[in-house]
Amino acid sequence: MINEKMEKAFNRQINAETYSAYLYWSMSAALEYMNLPGFANWMQVQAQEEMTHAVKFFRHIMERGGRVALTAIDGPPTGWKDVEDVFKNIQKHEEHVTSLINDLMDLALTEKDHAAVMFLQWFVTEQVEEEYMVHEILGKLKVAGTASAALYMLDREMAQRVFVPPTTAQKVQG
């Protein structure tokens, strides 16, 4: 059985993960407007991942006999200067999400909720990957600078990203 503190904290995280999806959808729309459909695709895939994360928290609460309490999702920003500005904002956002996951882990350890600790381990690893991926893309954007041909090549690279649902092994853990 999940305790009340963990249940409330996980419900807040469902909201945070859903907000992240909204943010990535908003960024996708902005990138489409900038005529960067590959980067827009990257954001769509990221939004799908964030919704998967929200569902993982939802399922964990339910599987442990808790109650899911969904709350209103804030509207995300809708405009950015350019693609580099978008990814700088992503970097800040993912660092914020990492701090949320770390706070959840701290709470789970304090509450001696071993099931939550095991569940959250997947998210700790996921956040390392998220931050690294954004760092890599920012590095490529920095190298590309204002060169249209380089930006076009990066856009084509971003168009190759596809959503891969968690595997069965990941579902068991989360």
Domain ranges of the chain: 4-69+80-173
Residue 174 has pLDDT above 80, yes or no: no
pLDDT at 146: 85
Residue 142 confidence (pLDDT) above 50: yes
pTM: 0.93
Superfamily name with CATH number, domain 4-69+80-173: Ferritin, core subunit, four-helix bundle (1.20.1260.10)
Give residue-wise pLDDT tens across range 21-50. Answer: 999 999 999 999 999 999 999 999 999 999
For residue 172, name the pLDDT band (cuts at 50, 70, 90). Answer: very low
Question: Residues near 122 by Cβ (< 8 Å), separated by ≥ 6?
Answer: 56, 170, 173, 174
